[in-house]
Structure 1
Amino acid sequence: ALVASAVAAEQVLDLVERGVGDFHFYTMNRADLVFAVCHMIGIRSHEAEAAGSAAA
């Protein structure tokens, strides 16, 4: 699962560098992988952001 997340994150970052700005992920009942990809590319949930700012 870690390899799949890393490869997907690399592909997304490559697409961003090429000008793609919008993405849609199909989770196929594997939301944990999409969550990991989002985390790797710097996208955090609102709950995680709120928890982080509350801890600061």
Structure 2
Amino acid sequence: KDPQTHALVASAVAAEQVLDLVERGVGDFHFYTMNRADLVFAVCHMIGIRSHEAEAAGSAAA
């Protein structure tokens, strides 16, 4: 019942579902954050959607 592990598993499962839907032709998604934007941010990061700030930081680090 570790909250961090629970969040990681939840994010991974959601990302897997999104990628499966993309493979099946779904192109648009809407995430309800329910005051848990950190989980949605993690899902977006896992599926390759990143903010401009994160992309810029990644480029600067390379």
Moved over 4 A (4+): none
- Offset at residue 54 of structure 1 (A): 2.8
Of 23, 34, 38 in structure 1, the residue corresponding to residue 44 of structure 2 is 38
TM-score by length of 2: 0.83
TM-score by length of 1: 0.91
- Offset at residue 51 of structure 1 (A): 1.6
What is the DSSP-based 3-state SS (H/G/I as helix, E as strand, rest coil) of the residue aligned with 2:27?
coil
- Offset at residue 28 of structure 1 (A): 0.2
- Offset at residue 36 of structure 1 (A): 0.4
- Offset at residue 52 of structure 1 (A): 1.9
**Size of the alignment, in residue pairs?**
56
What is the DSSP-based 3-state SS (H/G/I as helix, E as strand, rest coil) of the residue aligned with 1:26?
coil
Deviations 1:1-43 (A, max 9, x none): 0110011000000000000001110000000000000011111
- Offset at residue 50 of structure 1 (A): 1.4
- Unaligned residue ranges in structure 1 (runs of 5+): none
Could you tell me the percent identity over the aligned residues? 100
- Unaligned residue ranges in structure 2 (runs of 5+): 1-6
- Offset at residue 55 of structure 1 (A): 3.2
What is the DSSP-based 3-state SS (H/G/I as helix, E as strand, rest coil) of the residue aligned with 1:19?
coil
